[in-house]
Amino acid sequence: MAIGNGMDGGQPGRVPAESPLRRLYRLQAARERRVAKATASRASTPLVIGFSVFVAFIGVSIVSVLLAFQAAAAGYESLTKNLPALSNINNRATFKTAQIFDRKGQLLWEFYDPDGGRRTVVPLSEVSQRLIDATLAAEDAYFYQHQGVDPRATLRSAFFFSSGDNRGGASTINQQLVRNVLLDPKEAKQVTPQRKLREIILAYQLDQKLSKDQILEMYLNEVFYGNQSYGIEAAAQSYFDKSARDLDIAEASLLAGLVQSPSAYDPTRRDLPRTADGIPVPTKERQAYVLEQMTRQGFITEQQARDAYAEPLRIKQRTVELKEPHWVMYVRDLVEQKYGSKTLYQGGLKIYTTLDADYSAKMRDVLANARDNIQANGGNNSALISINPKTGEILAFDGSLDYNDVNIDGQVNVLLNERQPGSSIKPLVYSAAFLKGWAPGTFVNDAPTCWQPGPGQNWCPVNFDNAFHGQTTLRSALGNSLNIPAVKTLEFAGVDFVVELGRKMGVSTWQEDSAKTFGLSLTLGGAEVKPIDLAQIYGTFANNGLKIPLVAITRIVDSDGNILEDYKVPQGEQVIDPRAAYMITNILSDPTAKLFTYGPSTPLVLRQGTEPSSPVWPSASKTGTTDNYRDTWTAGFTPNLAIVVWVGNTGGAPMRPVLSSMTAGKIWPEAMKTSFEYLGLKPEDFPRPEGLVEQQVCGDQAMRPGQPACRSDLFFAEKAPRAPVGQAPAPRPTSAPTPAPAAPAPAVPAPPAAPAPPLNQDRQRLEPTAVPQPAPAPPRPAATQAPQPPPAPAPAPAVQPTQAPAPAPTRAPAPAAPAPTAAPKPGAVQPAPAPKPASP
C-alpha cells in the first residue's frame, strides 16, 4: 500500500534527486563566472591605470601651464612695477650745482656732479657722420636693424667674456640710453638679471615709441666721454677744441672708443706709457679696435683705417679754469666727507669760505717771484699757507707754484702732504721741556755725544757748522738751531710726552694708528707732518697755547635757504701752559738769540721800515732744513698772522746743499710784509701771560757775539732761581778757544768707524766730526744719559748759581765784569767782528 502510494506519486518524488545537480551546475557556473570575471578584471587593470595616469598628466600639465602663465604674469608685473615712464626721457631731472665763494663773496668755482657735468645738446645733423659710424661700429652695429635688443650682441659679449676679452658689450644703444637716463642711478649700477630684464623691456618700449634717429641723437648728447664731458659736442670741444661736426675719422674713432671706459682710455692721462704723439697706449689700442670695427662693417676702407691710425692727434691740454684750485678741491673734500656726495652735488649748496682770493693771489705772486731762486737752488716747487691765529681762519692757501704745471706735478697739494719738518719742529720739543721744568736760561752742553737708536748702532749728530759750542742756554740753542742741544732737550722731555703734546697742538700724522716709530730724531724732523698742521702749531704758539682749530668754511646754505653751517669762533682749548708757549715766542722773536747763526742783518727779523735801523716789527720765526735738503721751511707769526712756507721738489728729490734761509727764508719775510700791507696790520707786541718772572743769566756769550755777558731771562714764577744763573766770563777775551778751568775730563771716545745710517737732521750732515782741540768746555763721554742742566730749585730754598764754563770759541770781545743787565734792544745790537757762520 505504501509502495503503491509511492508509485502513484512518482513525478513529484524525482525532484529531490535533480536539485543537487542543478545546484552543482549553478555553483559551477557561478564559479566559472567568477573566474571569468576575475580574469577580465585582471586584463583591464593596466588600461585603466594608464588611462588614469594620462588623464592626471593632462590635468597637471594644464595646471602647470596655468601656473606658469600666472607666474610669468606676476614676474612681468614685478619687473614692470614702478618702471620709469618713457615720457621721463625728455624730462630728465638735472643736478643742482654747488657754488663756492671766498670771504668777500667772490665766486671761485661751481662743483659739477660727477654724474652730470658739461653738456651742449646738438641735433644729429650737426654731428660728423664719421663719429656716427664709429659709434655704431663700436657700440651697436645693428642698431638700425634690431628692435631695441640685439641677441647677437649678447652672444658676442658671452664669447668675449669667456675668452677674457672685455672689448664687446651686450647692451645696445637703446639699453645704454634707458640705463643712463631712466633707471635710478643705484639700480643702473646693479649687475642683476632683474635690472637687465627691466632694461630690456624699456629698450624695446623706447624702440616702439621713438625713431632710430631720435634715439641715436639723444644717445650722442647723453653719453659720458670723461673729464666732465657729457655728449659728443662737449667731448669734441674738450679734447680737440672743435665742434662735433668737424671731427675726422681719427678723432671720431678715438672719441667713440672712450665710451666703454672713459677713465681707462682717458687721452689726457699721464700715468701710462704714451705714443710718439702723446696718446696713452691703451687709448691708442682702443682707437685701433674701433677702426677695425668700422672696416669690418663697411664704414671705411682698410687704407682709411691705416691712415687714421697713423694720423698724429693733438689732444687739448687740460687745464683747470678756476680760481684757487687747491683751495676749492680741499673745501669740496671737506663738504663731501661731512655731508655726503648727494648733498654736495645735488643740494644746490652755496659754500662761503674763509679764503681771501685777492690776498691768496698776492701770496702766489710772492711764490712766483721766488721761482728763479728756487730753481737755482735745485728746487721746483713751493707752497704757502696763511692763517689768522685768533680766529683759526685760513686766509691764503697755495699748494704749489702753479696748479696747471705738469712739470712740477702742480696738482699735488703739498699743504696736505706729509713732509719732514726739519728744525721747524724744534719749538714743540723745547716747549715740552719748559713744561717739564727747564727754562730758556737753562744750560745744556753742546758737546760731541752719541746715542744708540738700535742694537749695534751709534748716532752721533753734529751741528750745521760741524762745530761744538760748549755750555749754552736753551734760548741760544733754539734761536740758533743747534742740533745736539735739541736732541738732549728731547731726551729730557721724553719722546712720548712730546708726541702726545704734538697731537694736542694739531699734528694729525702722529696719531697712534699712524704706524710711525718715534725716536730722538724727531727733534731734527724725523717724523713727517703736514704743512697745514705746522700752521696749526705755530698759530697755537701765537695764541699763547690756546688752540683755535683751523677752519675753511664759514657758512653753508642749501637750495631751499636752509643754513647747514654757520661758523662762530670757538673759545678754543688751552693745550699748553701759556707761559711755556710765550717762552717759545719770546725766543723766536729775539734777534739776539739768532745772532750766531743768522747774523745781525737777517731778513727773518722784520722791521717797520726799509732802513736797517727801523724799529723791529714783533714777529717770531723758525727755519728748518731736512736731511739731504729735500725740504726747507720757514714758519713764523705775529699775534694776528701766521705763515708757513715750504720749498723743495714735489717728488722729494734733494735740492742743492743750501739751507732754508736761502730758500723758504727769503720767501717768508716778503710774504709777511705783503700781508701787513694788504691786511692793514699794525705792529703789536706779544701779550705776556702772568706767572713769569725774570732773572739774570750769565755766560753763553759765544752764541751772542757783541752782547753783554748777562741778560734777563724768563722763568716760571714757582721755579725761578733766586740768584743769577751762571757766571760772567773772564774779563779778558781771547780770539782762540779758552780751555775749561775744570780738571781734565775723560777723553771723548772717537766716533765708531762704521756708524749706523744717520737719522734725519736739520743741518748739512750727521756724520760725527773730530772732537775740537782744545775743547771749549769739559767734554762728556759718549752716553745716552740726558744732560744735567742746573737743577730746578724747590720753592723755599735759595738756588745757588750754576757754575758756567769759560766761553766757547769766539772772537767777539766781551766787556769786563759787566753788571747784570736786561737784554739790549734789537736795534742797538753792535756785534764785534766774529767768524762768519754758515748761512742757514
* DSSP-assigned states of every residue in 353-386: ES--HHHHHHHHHHHHHTHHHHHHTT--EEEEEE
- pLDDT tens digits for 721-773? 988 887 544 443 333 333 333 333 333 333 333 333 333 333 333 333 333 33
φ, ψ for residue 87, nearest 5 deg:
-65, -20
| DSSP string for 602-660 | -TTS-BSSSSTTSPB---EEEEEE-GGG-EEEEEEEETTEEEEEEEE-TT-----S--G
Contact 485, 381 (CB under 8 A): no
76 pLDDT exceeds 60?
A: no
Q: DSSP strand E in 414-532: where?
A: 443-446, 470-473
Distance of alpha carbon 213 from alpha carbon 222, whole angstroms? 14
Q: CA–CA separation, 263 vs 160, rounded Å?
A: 21
pLDDT for 761 equals 35
Range with lowest mean pLDDT among 89-98, 193-202, 324-333: 89-98
Lowest average pLDDT, out of 4-8, 84-88, 282-286, 356-360, goes to: 4-8
* Mean pLDDT on 202-212: 83
The pLDDT-based confidence of 274 (bands split at 50, 70, 90) is confident
Where does the pLDDT of residue 802 fall: very low under 50, low under 70, confident under 90, or very high at 90 and above? very low
| Residue range 83-99, pLDDT digits in tens | 656 666 665 544 566 88
Query: φ and ψ at 382, to 5 degrees?
Result: -155, 155
Query: What's phi and psi for 635, nearest 5 deg?
Result: -130, 140
Listed residue (494, 495, 489, 490) closest to 472, CA to CA: 489
Per the DSSP assignment, residues forming a β-bridge with 712 are: 696
pLDDT mean over 701-711: 88
- What share of the chain in percent tops pLDDT 70? 70
Q: pLDDT higher for 783 or 688?
A: 688
* Bigger pLDDT: 188 vs 818: 188
Q: What is the pLDDT of residue 373?
A: 93
Residues 276 and 278: their CA atoms lie apart, in Å, by 5
pLDDT in tens, 444-465: 999 999 998 888 888 899 988 8
Give the residue, 544 or 341, on which the prediction is more confident.
Answer: 544
| pLDDT reported for residue 516 | 83
Rounded (10°) angle between helices 129-139 and 173-181: 90
Among 694, 699, 695, which Cα is nearest to 803's? 699
- 830 pLDDT higher than 50: no
Contact 148, 204 (CB under 8 A): yes
Listed range (452-461, 532-541, 614-623, 667-676) with the worst mean pLDDT: 452-461
Q: Could you tell me if 522 and 499 are in contact, meaning their C-beta atoms sit under 8 angstroms apart? A: yes
In the predicted model, what is the mean pLDDT of residues 210-233?
Answer: 86
> What pLDDT does residue 49 have?
55
Rounded distance, CA 682 to CA 676, Å? Answer: 7
What average pLDDT does the chain have? Answer: 77
Write down the pLDDT at residue 225.
Answer: 87
pLDDT of 635 above 80? yes
The three grid cell numbers given for residue 431, joined into one nine-digit string: 716747549
Higher pLDDT, 778 or 53: 53
Residue 598 CB: number of other CB atoms within 10 A?
23
More confident residue, 103 or 659: 103
pLDDT (tens digit per residue) in 289-313? 999 999 999 999 999 999 999 999 9
Spatial separation of the C-alpha atoms in residues 209 and 148, rounded to whole Å: 11
Quote the pLDDT of residue 736: 34
CA distance 349 to 328: 14
pLDDT 10s digits, 390-443:
999 999 999 999 998 889 988 889 999 999 999 999 999 999 999 999 999 999
C-alpha cell at 17: 534527486
Strand partners, 381: 648
- Lowest mean pLDDT segment, chosen from 108-122, 329-343, 673-687: 108-122
Instruction: List helix spans (H) across 109-165.
Output: 129-139, 151-162
Average pLDDT over residues 240-256: 94
**Which burial class, exposed, middle or buried, applies to 674 when counting CB atoms under 10 A from its CB (0-12, 13-18, 19+)?**
middle
State the Cα–Cα distance between residues 46 and 306, nearest whole angstrom.
77
Which of 692 and 88 is assigned the larger pLDDT?
692
Q: Is the pLDDT of residue 173 over 90?
A: no
The more confident residue out of 60 and 2 is 60
- Looking at the DSSP bridge assignments, the partners of residue 637 are 620, 642
Please enumerate in sequence order all residues whose Cβ is within 8 A of that of 771, keeping only pairs 6 or more positions apart, or say none: 448, 468, 748, 750, 779
Helix then strand then coil, % of the chain, to nearest 5: 40, 10, 45
Which of 313, 307, 315, 266 is CA-nearest to residue 286? 266
pLDDT per position as a tens digit, 552-610: 999 999 877 889 999 999 999 999 999 999 999 999 999 999 989 888 888 899 999 88
Q: Average of pLDDT values for 814-837?
A: 34
pLDDT tens string 377-392: 999 999 999 999 999 9
Whole-angstrom CA distances from 509 to 516, 524, 532 are 9, 16, 11
157-169 confidence digits (pLDDT tens)? 555 545 555 444 5
The whole-angstrom separation of Cα 387 and Cα 508 is 18
In the chain, count of helices (H) and strands (E)?
Answer: 25, 18
Residue range 495-543, pLDDT digits in tens: 999 999 999 999 999 988 877 888 899 989 889 999 999 999 999 999 9
* Residue 109: exposure state from Cβ atoms within 10 A (0-12, 13-18, ≥19): buried
Task: Let me know if 262 is exposed, middle or buried by CB neighbors in 10 A (0-12, 13-18, 19+).
Answer: middle
Cell of 720: 725761578
Mean pLDDT of the region 687-692: 95
Query: What is the C-alpha to C-alpha distance for residues 506 and 541, in angstroms, rounded to an integer?
Result: 11
